[in-house]
Amino acid sequence: MIVPKKKDDPLPKHVPIAWDPKRYAEMRIGGLEYRPTQYPIVLLHGLFGYDKLTFGPESNPFLQLHYWRGISEALQHLGCEVYVPSNGAVSSIRSRAHALDKFLSETLPNREVNLIAHSMGGLDARYLISHINNKGDRSYSINSLTTIATPHRGSSFMDFVQETLGVGYVLDVQDPVVEELKRRRAAAENGVDPMERVMVEHRMKNKYYVLKSICSRFDRPAYANLTREYCDAFNALTPDERTVHYNSYAAVAKISRLDPLFVSQSVITGREGPNDGLVSLDSAKWGEFEGIVPNVDHWGLLPPRNLKRRRNSVQDEIENKKLVKKGGGYCSLDFYMSVVDRLRDKGF
């Protein structure tokens, strides 16, 4: 098991490996043997996520794209019982949580489960646990929630997008957090001079007006749910359930100027500090903080979509090629194996 020496220490690096899903569970990575969890694992996707996308006949795997590509298969070969639902790409947290509740009720009735969530999926899971599953009439029970690069306190990049593009204003009217949000806004406005508020609103309407008018047409509830203002209200109304074990991981990376995430990382660095390009280190911490995954950005926590195939094996070349020269490397499969192994150690 990989255990950081200190709370914020990076997780140890491993030598890049080539892997064959049929043999992966039998391999020793970095001198470690990983073990499966006792209870089923449900992998939750983030914003723009899905279970799989099919571009042709369902029977042809080469025409399918999986969000958890390689990870779900590797965990299954390890001996884990794995499920991958699809909860809506840009739906609100409330809507995605209810979709997850329906999936668990139909697929895993009378079962205990472990939730492992990437990015926004962690907020969906927390809503499910605190607002839906605790009602006492659910047939399934949740033992643990592991969040990976989840913006628990929101993302300042989404605040930036809201300010400049006019995206992030549409809210789910059925969401109980919205009422708390309105109450807070009303209380804040009471202390603002009316003339000053008018001037601020006038400046906001004229700044980036053309860009905002175009982009606002594509606004969806999920975007507003990732602002820091919303997440602050969300956290106030979504306390942890004492019967559920919460743990989290964060990622930190130095992103190239040529990478699309360079702009978002620059924004977040100026407002929040170290981050993975979309989520800051502080925002990703929730419950028991397990450590930092070093030298990997937000999307690198999942396998790259264009893996290089060699005979009957697959090598995570895109993720590893730069770090190989330095004697280190990151393998998403190795990371999720260690996540599962830690859950097993804790009795899950």
Cα torsion 327, 333, 335, 338 to 10°: value is -120
- Name which of 30, 23, 37 is nearest 335 in CA terms: 30
Q: Which distant-in-sequence residues (6+ apart) come within 8 Å of 36 by Cβ?
A: 75, 78, 79, 80, 340, 344
CA distance 300 to 277: 10
pTM of the model: 0.80
Q: What is the pLDDT of residue 308?
A: 39
- In this prediction, the residues of the chain whose per-residue pLDDT falls under 70 are 1-32, 48-66, 134-137, 191-216, 303-330
Burial of 51 (0-12, 13-18, 19+ CB in 10 A): middle
pLDDT tens track for 70-112: 788 888 888 899 999 888 777 899 999 999 999 999 999 999 9
Q: What integer pLDDT is reported at residue 267 of this predicted model?
A: 95
Give the pLDDT score at 166: 80
Superfamily of domain 41-154+238-346: Alpha/Beta hydrolase fold, catalytic domain (3.40.50.1820)
Angle CA 44–116–120, to nearest 5: 50
Nearest alpha carbon to residue 48 among 114, 96, 103, 98: 96
Tokens, residue 35: 């073990």
| Sheet order of strands, 82-83 included | 82-83, 41-44, 112-118, 141-148, 245-252, 288-294
- Give tens-digit pLDDT for 118-170: 999 999 999 999 999 866 667 899 999 999 999 999 999 999 988 888 888 88
Instruction: Look at residue 219 in the predicted model and tell me its pLDDT.
Output: 76
